[in-house]
Amino acid sequence: MRRYLRERIESCLRSFGLPDASIVPTFEKPRDPAHGDLTTNVAMSASKIVRTAPAVLARRIIETLQIDRTLVDRVEVAGPGFINFHFSEKFYREQTSQVLSLGPNFGRIETVKRTKTQVEFVSANPTGPLTVGHGRGAVYGDTVARLLEWTGHEVTKEYYFNNAGRQMRILGDSVRLRYLELLGERLPFPEDYYQGEYIKEIAAHLKEQHGDKLRNEPAEGIFKQQAEKEIFDDIKKTLKRVGVVHDVFYNENSLYESGKVREVIEELRSRNLAYDLEGAVWFKATEFGGEKDKVIVKNTGEPTYRLPDIAYHREKLRRGFDLVIDVLGADHVATYPDVLAALKGLGYEPSKVKVLIHQFVTIVQDGEVVKMSTRKANFITLDELIDEVGSDVVRYFFLMRGIDSHLNFDLKLAKEQSEQNPVYYLQYAHARIASIIRHAESQGVDIKAGHDLSPLAEPEELALMKILAEFPDMVESCASSFEPHRLAEYLHELAGFFHKFYHVHRVVTEDKRLTAARIALCLATKTVLANGFAILGISAPEKM
């Protein structure tokens, strides 16, 4: 509909002698329903170019405008120069029919050429269980991936990790020390080692399998391997519990083994973007507006994290992705400008990389803020959270808010209120519809009969049909702005419109025509709810 109106108005502007693309009309849904179904401010933004008062220009536009009057009832100029469009009931009935005929695909954009897109998220190294903070990134990244899949992207969900390096060495040694403790040795356990219980469990498994034969094994051998394996298994299991499954696990080590890291250094050197100083290799970040140059290889010969990050992102673009999305926590804000700068320096298009940063989750338990640190193991794990409130609540809770805001997660409250969590408001609407349909069937109503929607004319029915029609635009706009929380809000509103409709009107009555029409409306609502839930990754219960 937006596209149609835009095209009509553009042709109208052309007839006034305005060059193409000098003004692109945009539409929005007015806050106040009295202002119509869609509104445009085109007359206000064009008034300067045409040197005409906005209201006068708006009037000229609607006089010239040629549109299908069976779809649009009324066009009017209002306020300082808005042009408001009031759609016809026929239009909304057609949209609702669309929902029914497209079913689970309503809202999906089918394009001939799908954009090849990668979403990288979670990417926590296997040093411990996922925290609630990881959970936010996991659920958010996954939902962005789902939104993109719905809007013409071919999506690869990727997890980048590193099982080498200092932290993993410490992890292996932590397990070794716990293992030796189990063998009865009394050894000091360093404070900066991994304190969590899970380390002891891994050590216990090793003792079960190998007895005391590992007494003289080095930390980096079997201890580290076992730790990595068990922890990674747990991470994947946890992710799966909240519906997150990655397509690719990309190991940083492969970038060294294939020589990709070395290539990057050499290429940067040959482009005069890297130089040696005090035994280290530096990247000229200042060439790209950075504050200072950055070390990419330490004087020990070891690369900093920056270098493989650059190599990895270069590989992403080489792999042919048109759009690369990185979901990062706020603690990584400082890292990506260097990567983007290096990509540019290497001749790649940095605008293909979109970095989405989510703010931290603050856990509040018993009125106290719990600081999270994997090493100190005083965190609430994502797994524990799922145990407490369930996957649907976890996902919805994380998705309800914009990623820019700090998320205050009062654990006690989440546990106590899980019965009346906002997500139930949505799911209840779905279950209620399912129940109505069961009831209708028991009364002998043919659910699959054709849908003649013309008996629907009550305000609550029209309001419901209107909001159903907005779903595709909503999905598209949430996908392009990477903002799932707006979809969550939309679904909340939709559920509200349904509850109101239900409260005022009885669906199954003696009037067969009306019953059939209202059942169709119910089915359409159920479909849109279910489609929205599918994007958010929450279940659509038939019963609760």
Residue among 419, 444, 448, 450 that touches RNA (CB under 7 A): 419
52 binds RNA (CB under 7 A): no
436 binds RNA (CB under 7 A): yes
Cα–Cα distance, 121 to 144 (Å, whole number): 10
Report, in this order, helix, strand and coil percent for the chain, each rounded to 5.
55, 15, 30
Using CB under 7 A as the binding rule, the residues of this chain from 335 to 394 that contact RNA are 335, 357, 359-360
Minimum CB separation of residue 520 from RNA in Å reads 13
What's at 251, amino acid-wise? N
Minimum CB separation of residue 41 from RNA in Å reads 4
Residues 455, 460, 466, 467, CA torsion sign: negative
Q: Is 414 left (phi over 0), alpha (psi -120 to 50) or beta?
A: alpha
402 binds RNA (CB under 7 A): yes
Cα–Cα distance, 220 to 114 (Å, whole number): 44
253 binds RNA (CB under 7 A): no
Minimum CB separation of residue 84 from RNA in Å reads 5
Residue among 2, 6, 18, 45 that touches RNA (CB under 7 A): 45
249 binds RNA (CB under 7 A): no
Region binding RNA by CB under 7 A among candidate stretches 24-32, 93-101, 339-347, 449-457: 24-32
Q: What is the dihedral of CA 111, 112, 118, 121, to 10 degrees?
A: 30
Minimum CB separation of residue 106 from RNA in Å reads 20
407 binds RNA (CB under 7 A): yes
- Coil, helix or strand for 539? coil
Residue among 8, 37, 54, 535 that touches RNA (CB under 7 A): 54
If the CB atoms of residues 196 and 484 are measured against RNA, the closer one turns out to be: 484
If the CB atoms of residues 179 and 501 are measured against RNA, the closer one turns out to be: 501
Minimum CB separation of residue 127 from RNA in Å reads 9
Residue among 331, 387, 452, 458 that touches RNA (CB under 7 A): 331
48 binds RNA (CB under 7 A): yes
Q: How many residues bind RNA (CB under 7 A)?
A: 92
Residue 65: which of 74, 53, 54 has the closest Cα?
A: 74
- Coil, helix or strand for 451? coil
Minimum CB separation of residue 97 from RNA in Å reads 21
If the CB atoms of residues 4 and 211 are measured against RNA, the closer one turns out to be: 4
Cα–Cα distance, 445 to 438 (Å, whole number): 10
Minimum CB separation of residue 75 from RNA in Å reads 12
Minimum CB separation of residue 239 from RNA in Å reads 18
Cα–Cα distance, 130 to 382 (Å, whole number): 6
Using CB under 7 A as the binding rule, the residues of this chain from 262 to 321 that contact RNA are 277-280, 291, 294-295, 298-300, 302, 304-305
Binding mask 172-211 toward RNA (x if CB under 7 A, else -) reads: ----------------------------------------
Cα–Cα distance, 31 to 74 (Å, whole number): 18
Region binding RNA by CB under 7 A among candidate stretches 63-71, 104-112, 132-140, 504-512: 504-512
Cα–Cα distance, 13 to 10 (Å, whole number): 5
CA angle centred on 446, ends 445 and 451, rounded to 5°: 110
Residues 6+ apart with CB under 8 A from 156: 116, 117, 118, 119, 247, 248, 321
169 binds RNA (CB under 7 A): no
Region binding RNA by CB under 7 A among candidate stretches 14-22, 109-117, 428-436, 446-454: 428-436
Minimum CB separation of residue 391 from RNA in Å reads 15
Residue 157: which of 173, 168, 145 has the closest Cα?
A: 145
332 binds RNA (CB under 7 A): yes
Residues 6+ apart with CB under 8 A from 463: 497, 500, 501
Residues 6+ apart with CB under 8 A from 78: 35, 84
Region binding RNA by CB under 7 A among candidate stretches 112-120, 233-241, 388-396, 416-424: 416-424
Residue 327 near residue 119 (C-beta atoms within 8 A): yes
166 binds RNA (CB under 7 A): yes
Minimum CB separation of residue 397 from RNA in Å reads 9
Residues 524, 525, 526, 529, CA torsion sign: positive
Minimum CB separation of residue 180 from RNA in Å reads 25
Using CB under 7 A as the binding rule, the residues of this chain from 471 to 490 that contact RNA are 477, 481, 483, 485-486, 489
If the CB atoms of residues 44 and 453 are measured against RNA, the closer one turns out to be: 44
Residue among 507, 521, 523, 538 that touches RNA (CB under 7 A): 507
Long-range contacts of 58-65, Cβ-Cβ distance < 8 Å, separation of 24 or more: 58/82, 58/83, 60/16, 61/9, 61/12, 61/13, 64/12, 64/15, 64/16, 65/8, 65/9, 65/12
The DSSP bridge pattern shows strands 82-87 and 407-410 to be: unpaired
Residue among 65, 400, 462, 534 that touches RNA (CB under 7 A): 400
CA angle centred on 174, ends 195 and 122, rounded to 5°: 70
Using CB under 7 A as the binding rule, the residues of this chain from 104 to 163 that contact RNA are 125, 162
